Each structure stands twice: as structure tokens, then as C-alpha cells.
Amino acid sequence: MPSWVIDRYGRNDVLRFTRDMVFPIIHFPNEVIIKVHAASLNPIDLSMRSGYGATALNMKRDPLKLKSMDTEFPLTLGRDVSGIIMECGLSVSYFKPGDEVWAAIPPWKQGTLSEFVVASGNEVSFKPKCLSHTEAASLPYVGLTAWSAVNQVGGLNRSNCSGKRVLILGASGGVGTFAVQLVKAWGAHVTAVCSHDASTLMKKLGADDVIDYRSGNLEEQLKTLPLFDFILDNVGGSTEKWALDLLKKWSGATYVTLVTPFLINMDKLGVADGMLQTGVTVGSKTLKHLFKGVHYRWAFFMASGPSLDEIAELVDSGKIQPVIDQVFPFSEVPKAFLKLEGGHARGKTVIDVISKK
């Protein structure tokens, strides 16, 4: 089947189009095969193309070292899919061939820049009825990453979020644009940090305050505002040194960062030492901040059909809309990667897989 694959890690020239990728097959009774109508790119695709996380992902792909060939190639990138169910495993009862679905495929599985992809039934959800496939493909990975950070790790939900002051650092990217809409739908007061040219988009998505990180010292600007109940950090780096001081102390206020050293540590130090180093880091940071009266947390993407069901409800009720920067035909996947690599996208880069252009 037609696919975009890589045969080694590196820069954009490692992407290769082939018509001979092996057709996926159902190995487990809870799996489905999806005909991909649209996919989208995320920063993790750039990272994986360069080899980031390969140690941990290969361990997950083949934990018992059963494969005779010690290689993950050819590897298909792409995590998001919107498409149609083609075939179901014996224990799949929720879906049937012909159903329109969307999903985010975990990074250790073959990706969605392909004509067909296999997913576990519990990773899949019915596509929001109000969206086309290209619109729907922009949301699952960023939506589930934001959902993991805000809801599962951060503890916010529709019943406790109303009136809370939420700060989102790096608000104009894929996860940020989703998170702004999610906490706004739940009644929060949202402060979004982005560059000036994204401020109109932030207002449109419902942000109450928009701060331009380029117009002077960001830390000083944020210190003039009332303290926050929740901070989502999509940026990392030096922000971590001062952002936690913006939280209300001893009130259950939480800082959640999506920038974690987990996969980098495993690549550098090996599986055991990498996990140990990561555990020590998060443990010491959590304790340090707990003594200061705030919660420090890391969040990761988690594939989840049930969470996508809840996201689809919010989309169909008009509370969350896709934010798409550009749509590329399937023949121009390398161009789409270069666009993403250029940075400063406003929303998502989407691939229309079934277009014949």
C-alpha cells in the first residue's frame, strides 16, 4: 500500500514514498483497520524522524526481543487519523466496517501517513459529525495530550473548573489552542501567552487575557496579574524556574509541564538508568514544590477512545473547533514536515491522504 516511511533517522531527506509498504493485519481480537482519509503532523513526528525516544519506543515495540531483525524500519510516522473502519477484530463490538472514526495512534505503533493503519479498539472513537475528515484529523493527538495534562494529571473538569484562573504558556501551538478552548468550555478564566501575531486567534478561541512574550520581560508582565490556580506549560526551559511562583500557594494550585526529559534520558542513559534518573528528577521537583505549597506535575500523551468520545461531544456542541494552519496533499508530506519544522504555526499541519493530487 502507499505510505511515507523512513529507513533511518535524520533530517527531512530520510522521508521516502513507497507503494510497497506491507498491508497492516489484525494481530489481536480488539484491533481495527482504518482506511486513512486524513492525518496530521505533530512535533513528536519531527522528533521521531530524528531518532528521539528510539530506545524506549523499541523496547515497547518488542519487549521480549522476539524479532530476529533488530530494526524498527521501515517506520511510518504520523499519529493522527480520521477515516473509515475497514475491518474489525473478533472482539470489537462498538464499531463496524463503514463507521467514520478518529484516533491518535501511540508512537510505538506504525503511523498514519499511509493508506491504512491498525489501531486498538479502545484507542478509537466516532468522528465528530460536524467535522470533515481533514478537520477531524487535526485534533486527536493534541486533544488527548491537553486532556491528559488538564484533566487526568491536573484534575480539572467541567464541575470544578468554573472561575479558576488558568495560565497557558505556548498557547498558539496545537496543544495550546486546544487547551485554551477546553478550559474555557469548562468556565475558567484563561490567560494565554503567545507572540503578538497570534493574539487575534487567542481572543477568537476565548482567551480572556493575551500576553505577548516578545513585548518585554514575560515574568514581570505575568507578576502584575492575580495569581493562578493552574498553569499548563508547553514551552519548558527557563519558564520552569519562575512560573511556579505565579501559583496561589496552599490552595491545591498545580503546574503541569509537557516538556519532560523521560525519553531523552532513556536514549542517553539506557532504559534502566534513564528511568531511574527521570524518577529522581520528578520526585525531587515534586517534593521541593510541595514544601512551597504548590503541585508540580509532568503530563504525557495518552491514547484513549473514551477521552476522544468526550472531546467529540465538546466539538459537536460547538465548544471546541479545529485550528488548522495548512492542508497538504499526500504527495507533499516532506513539504508538510518542512512547514512544521519552520515553527510559528498557528494550529495544525494536516495531510489529506485520499486526495489524488
pLDDT at 61: 87
pLDDT at 265: 61
Q: What is the pTM of this model?
A: 0.94
Q: What is the pLDDT of residues 25-73, one digit of tens each?
A: 999 999 999 999 999 999 999 999 999 888 889 888 887 777 766 679 9
Three-state secondary structure along the chain?
A: CCEEEECCCCCHHHEEEECCCCCCCCCCCCEEEEEEEEEEECHHHHHHHCCCCHHHHHHHHCCCCCCCCCCCCCEECCCEEEEEEEEECCCCCCCCCCCEEEEECCCCCCCCCECEEEEEHHHEEECCCCCCHHHHCCCHHHHHHHHHHHHHHCCCCCCCCCCCEEEEECCCCHHHHHHHHHHHHCCCEEEEEECHHHHHHHHHHCCCEEEECCCCCHHHHHHCCCCECEEEECCCCCHHHHHHHHECCCCCCEEEECCCCHHHHHHHHCHHHHHHHHHHHHHHHHHHHHCCCCEEEECCCCCCHHHHHHHHHHHHCCCCCCCEEEEEEHHHHHHHHHHHHCCCCCCEEEEECCCCC
pLDDT in 10s for each residue of the chain, 357 residues: 999 999 999 999 999 999 999 999 999 999 999 999 999 999 999 999 999 888 889 888 887 777 766 679 999 999 999 999 999 999 999 999 999 999 999 999 999 999 999 999 999 999 999 999 999 999 999 999 999 999 999 999 999 999 999 999 999 999 999 999 999 999 999 999 999 999 999 999 999 999 999 998 999 999 999 999 999 999 988 999 999 999 999 999 999 999 886 667 677 777 778 777 877 777 788 788 887 899 999 999 999 999 999 999 999 999 999 999 999 999 999 999 999 999 877 889 999 999 765
pLDDT at position 64: 76
- pLDDT for residue 283: 76
